[in-house]
Chain A
Amino acid sequence: MEIVDIVPPILKNNVAVVTVDKLFKWARGNSIWPLSSGLACCAIEMMSTAAARFDLSRFGYEVFRAGPRQSDLLIVAGTLTWKMAPPLVRLYEEMPEPKYVIAMGSCAIGGGPFADSYSVVKGIDEVLPVDVYIPGCPPRPEALIDGMLKLKEKIMHPERVNEKTGTGNNEEKTEAVTA
């Protein structure tokens, strides 16, 4: 939500919202610290993203925090089972606002190959609000970086999310993010 939207209608003409909002969006978008939590094999790709070859730190996103209190982003990397769902939701609830969620891989998006299983959550959006979906089984590190940049775009320009065509068209913008 925009800060402008919080202003009550009666005060709309009296309150000026200036660019400090833009500054905070810039700060939030450029400093997304993920929670180091991995559920399955996608977590290996997540680690690989932070390592030397793909180097997530170029964007300033490499600060994987061990505790939810200091992190901004929950990357759900892997298969979420109903057994694991309550601890994961608890982790999400422990994170301070503003917080974001990335569903990484087919399992997190819709259960993946385990969609028929009684024990697997069929998409983490059944339990958590998801900001960005990254398809793949598992997604390549470039895809995760692209997903985090999409999240950055969403943070910095929240109005673009509602556009029909917008920038969400993945097929046209698949050029790899290289150093």
Chain B
Amino acid sequence: MDNGIVMTVANLIRDILMLVLGNEFIVSLIMKFIGIGALLGAISGAAIAFTYTERKVCAFVQVRLGPNRVGPMGLLQPIADMLKLMTKEDIIPNGVDRVVWALAPILLFVPSALAYAFFPFDDGAIFADVNVGIFLLIAISSQSVLTFLMGGYASNSKYGMIGAMRAVATSLAYEAPMVFSLLGIVMLTGSLRMSDIVTVQGDNVWFIVLQPIAFLIYITTCMAETNRTPFDFVECESEIVAGAFTEYSGMRWALFFLAEYANLLSISVLTTTFFLGGWTGPVLPGFVWFWIKTLLMLFVFLWFRWTFPRVRIDQMMSFCWKVLLPLALVNVLLTGVGIYIYRWM
């Protein structure tokens, strides 16, 4: 497998553009914009589609039918929701810090979308294959906590403030075990580059086999990163209304809502890349394998969301610091010992 379908198509477009325009610089500029457009289209399309998927999976878990009246099989439901949210009144409460408050939902989309630059969708189809891939990815995706803090703090509401403080406190708790769980993979690969991680898994064995503890830690902390139910401390409806989003209405709130689903896709992609061998797989083209694994992981995350009851914040903090972090450190130690033994044999 030298080049996947995505790169073949991209090269075809590039060749056609070269024939028409003839200027190398303009062609590569246009290609970059096509890539960005495709990526943003995929993110927002997926985010809207996932709201429908979530409701259907939720209905499946709870033995219900789910949306089935609006359009064929309820497929137009997310479109109706989005249109409605766009036409809702835009309330700016008294006493909010206007600039920060308005910026928060827009800025939340930046780290969620920026993380997609490092995802290897197919062989060669990766926007920025930098040699510090994982490092940059974690650095960027942990920025999203700042926007929750901005939104909650600027809302001038006690629920917003509590939600924002919780977002910051939990982000410290889950980031540490997450990073340490990925350290085992970096040790095995010997590289921080995303494409190397996938290639190594394709040549040898998927990392879920070699790093089962890291896999469990990673998906647990991922659930916390996306603020979904077992660890939904930013929103937690049953305690603090809607947490950091309490004062947001209409389209502003919809941006928070969409960013949550963009993050959901992003953690599914990351789990696929780190533990399930990314685009590698027999017979089928890499792009298809990538989406099969990603959608499978997506279903697993939705399944978790609707199966587990939510935990209290103190339970989650002590679980992350007292259980997950030591486990992740032990995993790093065991990986080191394993590598030493493997080399020695």
Contact = CB atoms under 8 A, between A and B. Distances in A.
A62 B70 CA distance: 13
9 contacts: A24-B84, A30-B70, A36-B237, A67-B241, A67-B246, A69-B91, A69-B248, A69-B253, A96-B91
Which interface residue of B91, B245, B247 has the most chain A CB atoms within 10 A? B91
B337 to A, nearest CB: 48
Contacts of A63: 81
Contacts of B66: 57-58
Which interface residue of A23, A63, A96 has the most chain B CB atoms within 10 A? A96
A97 B77 contact: no
Which interface residue of B83, B88, B248 has the most chain A CB atoms within 10 A? B88
Contact of B69 (A60, A67, A69): A60
Nearest to B235: A66
B84 A57 contact: no
A13 to B, nearest CB: 27
A52 B59 CA distance: 8
B343 interface: no
B68 interface: yes
B84 A70 contact: no
Contacts of B84: 24, 27-28, 30-31, 72
Given A65-B242, A69-B249, A96-B88, A60 B64 contact: no
A24 B62 contact: no
Interface of B: 55, 58-59, 62-70, 74, 76-77, 79-84, 87-91, 237-238, 241-242, 245-250, 253
A52 B249 contact: no
A58 B67 contact: yes
Contact of B253 (A57, A62, A70): A70
Contacts, number: 96
A26 B82 CA distance: 12
Interface of A: 23-24, 26-28, 30-31, 36, 51-52, 55, 57-60, 62-63, 65-67, 69-70, 72, 94, 96-98, 179
Which interface residue of B67, B68, B79, B245 has the most chain A CB atoms within 10 A? B67
Contacts of B238: 66
A87 B154 CA distance: 24
Nearest to A65: B242
Contacts of B82: 27
Given A52-B63, A52-B64, A69-B242, A26 B249 contact: no
Contacts of A26: 80, 83
Contacts of A62: 55
Contact of A97 (B69, B80, B81, B88): B88
B250 A57 contact: no
Contacts of B249: 69-70, 96
A24 B84 CA distance: 7
B253 A60 contact: no
Contacts of A96: 88-91, 249-250
A97 B67 contact: no
A58 B246 contact: no
A36 B238 CA distance: 11
A97 B67 CA distance: 24
Which interface residue of B59, B64, B66, B74 has the most chain A CB atoms within 10 A? B64
A66 B90 CA distance: 18
A168 B228 CA distance: 42
Which interface residue of A24, A60, A94 has the most chain B CB atoms within 10 A? A60
Contacts of B241: 66-67
B90 A58 contact: no
B59 A57 contact: yes
Contacts of B88: 72, 96-98
Contacts of B81: 27, 31, 60, 63
A70 B59 contact: no
Contacts of A31: 77, 80-81, 83-84
A60 B250 contact: no
B80 A57 contact: no
B258 to A, nearest CB: 14
Contacts of B247: 69
B80 A67 contact: no
